[in-house]
Structure 1
């Protein structure tokens, strides 16, 4: 019961939560975040708005630099 509720809160399947389907590389599902990224995004959402904006700008700059 707890596992199912936790999976729903994290918007993942119970298999993904338990690591049963290879979530290291998105489990073959390109539309789902890995649990590691999902956990971090939840923490980012808890930050004050100004810190969120700063962090997202930093990520955007990094991603743009890797496109070249």
Structure 2
């Protein structure tokens, strides 16, 4: 059973991770455009952000299901 506060905190965390992923993708674009020299580090960060994004997406789906169940009275 999730409270309103934990849902808000999760939403905030998901927004921050989305911003982090966007920054990583921008970094990758710079690499592909030849403007970045630290290829390995940027690729690692981008991969990590993509994995985190998928994990967070799964967590958000689970939270959504719990909230729906809670409000539907199931």
Same fold (TM > 0.5)? no
TM-score class normalised by the smaller sequence: 0.3 to 0.5
Q: Which has the higher contact order (CA 8 A, sep 6+)?
A: 2
Structure with the greater alpha carbon radius of gyration? 2
Give 1 or 2: higher helix fraction: 2
